[in-house]
Amino acid sequence: MANKQDIPVIIHNGKRGLLTLEDGRLDVLQLSADGRPPKHLLSCPVRLLLRAQLSPEPPSAGANGPKRMLDIHALVQKSANSNHLRYTKIRVLVEPAHSVDAEQWVDQLMAAAYPVTKPYRNVLLLINPVSGKGKGVAIANHTIIPTLEAAGCKVDVRQTEYRNHAEEICRDADLSMVDVIAVASGDGGCYEAFNGLAMRPDGRKALRIPLAPLPTGSACAACTNLFGPKNTFNVLLATLNVIKGQPMPIDLQSVVLLPSLERRVSFLSVALGLMVDLDIGTENLRWIGDSRFLYGYLRGIMQNKSCKARIQLNIVDDDKEKMAREAVEAAAADRGPKTVGGGTDPLQLIRGVQTMSVASQAVANGDGYGDGLTPSGSRKSSGLSAKPIGSLMPADAASPAPVNGAVNDDERLPLADLLEPTEAWVTVDSSGSARHDPQSATQNAWSEGEAMLFLYSGLMPYVARDLNQWPVIRAGSGVIDIVLQRCAARSVMLGQATEGASGRPYWLSSQCYYKVLGYTVENLDKKGQPKLTIDGEGYDWDSFHVEVLPRAATLLALDGHYYQAEFLLQAPGAAATKPDK
Ligand SMILES: Nc1ncnc2c1ncn2[C@@H]1O[C@H](COP(=O)(O)OP(=O)(O)OP(=O)(O)O)[C@@H](O)[C@H]1O
């Protein structure tokens, strides 16, 4: 029965066992003496193996020497197609006669388990004790930390003690030995971490240390984008990402608030109007979880309050069908020929860890990824007077910090200058009161006198589990996706309340959707709309300037790209359009 990849062992009850490694699967078998089939003590794909560790060879080794212990730590699925994972550890004994083979076998197993990333990462783990339902510390102690340690990671745990503490920690910490910054929190924790890194004297390099979100907050959109709506709160999947995820460059939005000139960076969203009211206007309803956003949306639609602003946009793409087609084609390329099925099962994404993905190859080559597939080829002149887009980043901005590498550069992220729109920019005045006319000829262009329900710019498709707001976003493509939602008939907007997860509101004729390099906004109703939100945090504003920082930061992703929603799982070239309502 034994072949080259099988190792005979003694199992816990003194019975004979066998370790087998075949077709990317690890099995620990208990053999029977009477010819019955072997019993599976452990069976898992190697992608879920955390660590195999053989105890040191004893000094008195020899045919009669002591046995060596072999510990195997793995995550196992509840059933073959389940995303429900649990941690397990199994200990077997290796007899001296198989000691050398066992050493080689363990090396082979670990190489198969970590095909493109190195094991034993140094993790800076930030834990927000009050986010979500306030269970962050318990989840970290019970699940996250033991799993990281079982995988051989070294974990430096820092519990945040007050608002903005995560920002201070990331601003001031010695990151020279840190491979991953793991954030057990909601999106607010990631926002603070990115801003802390951006403020450092070595900000540009520090932002390339990959960040890995762990879902202990109330919304956790970063996890939705990485693992899909159904697995947003799958803590073990997110922990596996800390252990094995591949660095994925992402864009940031640099937001300069006026008149203070305070600069914040955003990894997720900048919002005005209804999207502000449904977020910070429902904070008193945190206890109902993320359904507070649906409540806030419905309330906002009934009020149909418009947001009055003067917006100037540096648009690089405004063709909805082309943007959708390109996103579908890019998603197919990201999936690669070896990935089967769809984007509905994140464990299929883990399978992608077996082969170096398109993204990782490009990152390894230092040429970023997405170039050539993004609208950059059709870019108009940026019109940014102070500096060209991209000059904020060093030439090698596409290369993330090598995992297990040190930050050794002291370059600061330059302060953003104010943008100076040119005549090529598109100006939108949303101070009118007219509702959108679906028969209008200019479907993806603003018409004079129209009223705006909300402005929403983002860098990841999902902003919540039930809202795929920017379905054609691609990580690190160097552009910001922005929606200007016109006030439309209530019946149309109410009809979209349950459509958000599908991304279909993208096709609404009342929704202007653009890819931009930057934009400016002037508040035309300071009393009625005093707040904007950046990644869900509220700020007072008179006006603000936003520009993209291409591939400025890094996330870990199991397969090197975001979860692929149904919207993207179409045959390339056949991106279906939704008829206008
Ligand atoms: N010890 C603490 N005491 C009080 N506030 C804290 C503490 N630690 C962190 N915070 C603050 O908690 C706030 C909420 O965190 P976060 O946004 O991550 O969670 P959440 O709101 O539950 O999740 P989400 O943003 O996904 O809805 C942040 O503003 C953060 O600064």
Three-state secondary structure of 148-163: HHHCCCEEEEEECCCC
Contact of 486 with 509, CB cutoff 8 Å: no
Q: Is 284 exposed, middle or buried (0-12, 13-18, 19+ CB in 10 A)?
A: exposed
Contact of 398 with 366, CB cutoff 8 Å: yes
- Bridge partners (DSSP) listed for residue 539: 532
Q: Is 313 exposed, middle or buried (0-12, 13-18, 19+ CB in 10 A)?
A: buried
Ligand 1 pocket mutation pick from 125, 127, 128, 135 by most atoms within 8 angstroms of CB: 128
Q: In the chain, where does the domain assigned CATH 2.60.200.40 lie? A: 266-320+418-547
For residue 354, which of 45, 20, 77, 26 has the smallest C-alpha distance? 45
pLDDT given for residue 59 in this prediction: 76
The CA distance from 65 to 59, in Å, is 9
The CA distance from 442 to 246, in Å, is 42
* Residue ID of nearest Cα to ligand 1 atom 17: 188
Q: Is the peptide bond before 461 cis (omega within 30 degrees of 0)?
A: no
The CA distance from 523 to 521, in Å, is 7
DSSP SS3 for 459: coil
Contact of 294 with 466, CB cutoff 8 Å: yes
Enter the tokens of residue 443. 């479907």
Instruction: Ligand 1, residue 167: give the atom nearest the CA.
Output: 31
Q: Which residues contact 252 (CB under 8 A, 6 or more apart)?
A: 194, 198, 207, 265, 266, 267, 459, 548, 549, 552, 553
CA of 134 to the centre of ligand 1 (A): 9
Residue type, 116: V
CA of 473 to the centre of ligand 1 (A): 27
420 lines ligand 1 (CB under 6 A): no
The CA distance from 3 to 459, in Å, is 50
437 is catalytic: no
Neighbours of 391 (CB within 10 A): 11
Instruction: Ligand 1, residue 220: give the atom nearest the CA.
Output: 26
pLDDT per position in the chain (581 positions), as tens? 444 579 999 997 789 999 999 989 999 999 988 888 999 999 999 999 999 999 998 776 566 778 999 999 999 998 777 789 999 999 999 999 999 999 999 999 999 999 999 999 999 999 999 998 899 999 999 999 999 999 999 999 999 999 999 999 999 999 999 999 999 999 999 999 999 999 999 999 999 999 999 999 988 999 999 999 999 999 999 999 999 999 999 999 999 999 999 999 999 999 999 888 887 777 666 666 667 777 777 777 777 788 999 999 999 999 999 999 999 999 998 887 644 333 434 455 454 443 333 334 333 333 332 222 222 222 233 332 222 222 222 333 333 433 344 434 458 887 777 999 999 999 999 998 888 887 776 789 998 899 999 999 999 999 999 899 999 999 999 999 999 999 988 777 777 778 889 999 999 999 999 999 999 999 999 999 999 999 999 999 999 999 999 999 999 999 889 999 999 987 655 544 554 44
pLDDT given for residue 388 in this prediction: 26
CA of 366 to the centre of ligand 1 (A): 35
162 lines ligand 1 (CB under 6 A): yes
Q: In the chain, where does the domain assigned CATH 2.30.29.30 lie? A: 6-113
The CA distance from 400 to 367, in Å, is 11
What ranges make up the beta strands (E) of 318-474?
426-429, 452-458, 462-464, 467-468
Instruction: Ligand 1, residue 221: give the atom nearest the CA.
Output: 26
Contact of 208 with 399, CB cutoff 8 Å: yes
* ipTM summary value: 0.97
Q: Which residues contact 109 (CB under 8 A, 6 or more apart)?
A: 21, 26, 46, 49, 52
Q: How does DSSP classify residue 117?
A: S
CA of 212 to the centre of ligand 1 (A): 16
CATH code, residues 6-113: 2.30.29.30
Question: Which is the catalytic residue, given 6, 179, 187, 279?
Answer: 187
Neighbours of 540 (CB within 10 A): 11
For residue 67, which of 97, 105, 107, 23 has the smallest C-alpha distance? 97
pLDDT given for residue 63 in this prediction: 66
* Residue ID of nearest Cα to ligand 1 atom 23: 186
pLDDT given for residue 357 in this prediction: 38
Is the four-CA dihedral 514, 517, 522, 527 of positive or negative sign? positive
The CA distance from 216 to 213, in Å, is 9
The CA distance from 245 to 397, in Å, is 19
The CA distance from 383 to 380, in Å, is 8
130 lines ligand 1 (CB under 6 A): yes
Q: How does DSSP classify residue 451?
A: B
* Residue ID of nearest Cα to ligand 1 atom 2: 162
User: Radius of gyration of the chain from Cα atoms?
Assistant: 26
Q: Is 337 exposed, middle or buried (0-12, 13-18, 19+ CB in 10 A)?
A: exposed
Enter the tokens of residue 300. 């906002």
CA of 522 to the centre of ligand 1 (A): 29
pLDDT given for residue 320 in this prediction: 95
* Residue ID of nearest Cα to ligand 1 atom 29: 163
Fold (topology level) of 266-320+418-547:
Tumour Suppressor Smad4 (2.60.200)
Q: How does DSSP classify residue 505?
A: G
Residue entry with tokens 């802390």: 196
